[in-house]
Amino acid sequence: MVGLGRMGANLVRRLMRDGHRCVVYDRSTDAIRSLTDEGATGAGSLSDFVAKLEKPRAVWLMLPAAVVDSTLDELAGLLDAGDTVIDGGNSYYRDDITRAKRLQERNIHYVDCGTSGGVWGLERGYCLMIGGETEVVQRLDPIFKTIAPGQGSAEPTPSRTRTDGTAPDGYLHCGPSGAGHFVKMVHNGVEYGMMAAIAEGLSIIKHANAGTVDRTVDAETTPLRDPWAYQYTIDVAEVAEVWRRGSVIGSWLVDLTADALARSPELDEFTGRVSDSGEGRWTVLAAVDEGVPASVITTALFERFESRQLGGFTDRVMSAMRSEFGGHAEKK
């Protein structure tokens, strides 16, 4: 394992718990030490790391996207034909295609592995979406099986009749190079959409008291025609809690939302600036290229942009037009 951040370290722990032997490397010696204390073999450098692995080697990278390529370049000079590099981070799937080709020239294999599970994966297991050559992926099967949640983590799908395949274990070989990160990318796009749907819904419920709040009365403010219909003060945290059981929208995201609201009903510790780290954007680009209308996922992406006030010039142009044609002054 190269890269011992939260995700990398927990992957190592989950592997060791199941009896795998792991060599670990990171630029931080503290990160290394905390895992060697738990039984891992530490390495002092990338070449030391490579030397300590048995052939054919399997090197799992869990690195920020920005340093994957430089690490790969260095590794390429250290590894031997037949070795495999697994990129478990959030790379753009197109980079996987390029990298696999480049490493193939040295007969080094490259596997891309989208890894979902967040900070909870150590206990729950990680959902793995894998791309690469079939034989190579099969050889690594024991690793993936350990990391994934396993069949017991959910009821079997009633209509599933095929008995082959690893999807019920929580990992899937999706196709050739890039296919794993492609599916993971779209997974995150779906995540954006689901998060926004839940958040919007809770917001509508929170504002069900709109009729009890004084509205400014002026030409720039739409009056609420039916204040009697918005007289509710609803406990949003309890709504999230009740939706966890038996409802159609039951989901891990609702579970987590209930947890966050249980701790902090107003979520005042957040400013609401929602980052996006690439996969949502790439999902939209793919949808546009493919000609697939992905209105909800795209809307969720732009909602994040708006949360960071990236539409400022757009808004000022609109205010300027209103001023021009109607003499409307902006409200303060």
Site residues for a second copy, 252-291, by CB under 8 A, read: 252-264, 267-268, 270-278, 281, 283-291
CB of 10 to a second copy, least distance (A): 11
Tokens linked to 129 = 């979406």
Nearer to a second copy by Cβ, of 25 and 92: the residue is 92
Range 133-172, binding a second copy (CB under 8 A)? 148-150, 153-155, 157-162, 165-172
Q: Does 221 bind a second copy (CB under 8 A)?
A: yes
Task: State which of residues 16, 31, 46, 199 lies at the interface with a second copy (CB under 8 A).
Answer: 199
**# residues near a second copy by CB under 8 A:** 175
Task: State which of residues 45, 55, 82, 232 lies at the interface with a second copy (CB under 8 A).
Answer: 232
Nearer to a second copy by Cβ, of 54 and 157: the residue is 157
CA 207 to chain centre: 29
CB of 279 to a second copy, least distance (A): 9
For the sheet containing 84-87, what is the strand order?
A: 58-61, 84-87, 109-116, 127-131, 171-175
CB of 140 to a second copy, least distance (A): 16
Nearer to a second copy by Cβ, of 47 and 319: the residue is 319
CB of 282 to a second copy, least distance (A): 9
Q: Rounded to the nearest 10 degrees, what angle do helices 236-243 and 179-206 cross at?
A: 130
Q: Does 212 bind a second copy (CB under 8 A)?
A: no
Q: How far is CA 273 from CA 90, 235, 276, 305, 307, in A?
A: 21, 24, 10, 9, 5
Contact 43, 69 (CB under 8 A): no
Range 7-36, binding a second copy (CB under 8 A)? none
CB of 41 to a second copy, least distance (A): 27
Query: Please, what is the Cα angle at 288 between 292 and 296, to 5 degrees?
Result: 60
Q: Rounded to the nearest 10 degrees, what angle do helices 279-290 and 179-206 cross at?
A: 110
DSSP reduced 3-state for 11: helix
Torsion over CA of 211, 216, 219 and 223, rounded to 10 degrees? 0
Q: Does 124 bind a second copy (CB under 8 A)?
A: yes
The DSSP call for residue 82 is T
Range 54-73, binding a second copy (CB under 8 A)? 64-66
| Catalytic one of 133, 191, 241, 303 | 191
Using the rule CB under 8 A, give the single segment among 28-36, 48-56, 105-113, 190-198 that binds a second copy.
190-198
Binding mask 295-314 for a second copy (x = CB under 8 A): xxxxxxxxxxxxx-xxxxxx
Nearer to a second copy by Cβ, of 76 and 197: the residue is 197
Torsion over CA of 150, 153, 156 and 162, rounded to 10 degrees? -20
Bridge partners (DSSP) of residue 127 are 116
Q: 204: which residues sit within 8 A by CB, 6+ positions away?
A: none
Annotated active-site residue 184? The verdict is yes
Torsion over CA of 213, 214, 216 and 217, rounded to 10 degrees? 120
Q: Does 183 bind a second copy (CB under 8 A)?
A: yes
Annotated active-site residue 191? The verdict is yes
Range 84-113, binding a second copy (CB under 8 A)? 92-94, 97
Bridge partners (DSSP) of residue 130 are 113, 173
Q: Does 194 bind a second copy (CB under 8 A)?
A: yes
Q: Does 192 bind a second copy (CB under 8 A)?
A: yes
Q: 292: which residues sit within 8 A by CB, 6+ positions away?
A: none
Nearer to a second copy by Cβ, of 54 and 332: the residue is 332
Where in the sequence numbering do the catalytic residues fall?
Answer: 184, 191
